Structure 1
Amino acid sequence: MSAARLRRAGEVFGPVVYGWYGQTEASLITEVRPHEHTLLGRMGQVTAGRPVPGVEIAVCGETGGQLPAGRSGEIRVGSPQVMTGHWRQPELNAEVLHDGWLCTGDAGYLDEEGYLYIAGRYKQMIKLAVGLQVFPPSWRPSCSPTRPWRNAWSSVCAARTTRRTSTRRSSRPPAPTRTPPRSRTS
């Protein structure tokens, strides 16, 4: 959520909004408390919060070494909740698990106080178990129609890989761009 929307939510509802960052492979990673939503990163993004108890976060460079506070790199997570591996996928496990750390595929940095800021994705696509592929926000315009309201699309733009259909979710319904497909009769 944008900093402006969080600020507006605080004005309307008071300090009640919490935020979390997590992944299926690692469970809950960070938490943002209501008073922390005003913390902005160097690119204007809202903080993803501090690690929850039992979770360690490292930001690593291209060689795998941990970077100092303020330097951007790949976010890695270590905790008892991190998965032990993908079922029967040793190649993928070798790619995402290193010395007990899960490579999240997210890019970001930690500040001096331990707050995490997410800057983007290293992996260009998130594959979901239900056969969907989710692309990062920078790919959304290529997934949405070229209409003036295309910026209203939410952060999910997915294409079903197992069928020839696509799924798009928006914050307002898109205008019809074509007629529905005709049903087939045998």
Structure 2
Amino acid sequence: MSIIETVTDVDNTFLSRRELTCNFAGLGGKLKSLEATDMITKEFKLDGKVVIPMRLRTHVGKSHVTGTFYVYYDEGLAKKHVNPTIFSRIEKIKAKLAEAQAVEAPVEEASEEVKAEEASEEVKAEEASEEVKAEEASEEVKAEEASEEVKAEEASEEVKAEEASEEVKAEEASEEVKAEEASEEVKAEEASEETKPEEKSE
């Protein structure tokens, strides 16, 4: 359902103008004359024509606004027919809107600059965090390499210790063999000595 409801649409050929009366639903106390003019221009496709808001009337106990508009094809003819006070009011409203827009423009530019600075700071912070992460990752890699080197050294030391223990065991075994051989030699000498007296006694 459209907000704008057409009440009357009269083509006044005598005054060379079109007279529109419309209701704006739900805009009681909210609608301004220039906003209503823009809405009428878009609704009836009146681009390039002079649309003059003559009056906006509210209704007690109702939410709609009734507006009366004159549509002229010639601005000079409109100024001849319409009270100049209405034109002066429209010009004042347009001047105020232009000033408000001029004030808002620098504020918007400043806010955009602030946003751009914040975005650049966020980018820098992200880059810094990425660098920190890269450094942490490299440190972790280094730590892992160092731990692997330590493990390799420990493994090599264990291998050396095992080899040393095996050498010690081999030396002990060779010493035991030598001791056994020596004991066997002693036994053989003792046996030979025992046999010698027996031969002498014979």
Query: Quick check: which one's strand share is greater?
Result: 1
TM-score surpassing 0.5? no
Q: Which has the larger radius of gyration?
A: 2
TM-score by length of 2: 0.18
Higher helix share: 2
TM-score computed with the length of structure 1 as normaliser: 0.20
